[in-house]
Amino acid sequence: MDPIRLIVGLGNPGREYEATRHNVGFWWVDELAEEAELNFKSEAKFHGLSARGLVLGRELILLKPQTFMNLSGRSVGALAQFYKIAPAQILVVHDELDLQPGIARLKLGGSHGGHNGLKDIIAQLGGREFWRLRLGIGHPGDRAQVSDFVLGHPREAERELMLEAQHQSMQVLPSVLDGKMEAAMLKLHSRK
At residue 73, the 3 state secondary structure works out as helix
Identify whether 189 is a catalytic site residue. no
Q: Which of 22, 47, 94, 115 is catalytic?
A: 22
- Residue from 22, 29, 28, 32 nearest 49 by CA: 29
Residue 17 assigned as binding residue? yes
Residue 22 neighbours by CB distance under 10 Å: 22
Residue 83 assigned as binding residue? no
Residues 46, 78 contacting (CB under 8 angstroms): yes
Q: Outline where the chain has alpha helix (H).
A: 24-36, 72-83, 116-125, 146-150, 156-171, 173-177, 181-189
Residue 70 assigned as binding residue? yes
- Residue from 12, 19, 30 nearest 117 by CA: 12
* Binding site per annotation, positions for tRNA: 17, 68, 70, 116
The residues annotated with a catalytic role in the active site are: 22
Q: Residues within the annotated binding site?
A: 17, 68, 70, 116
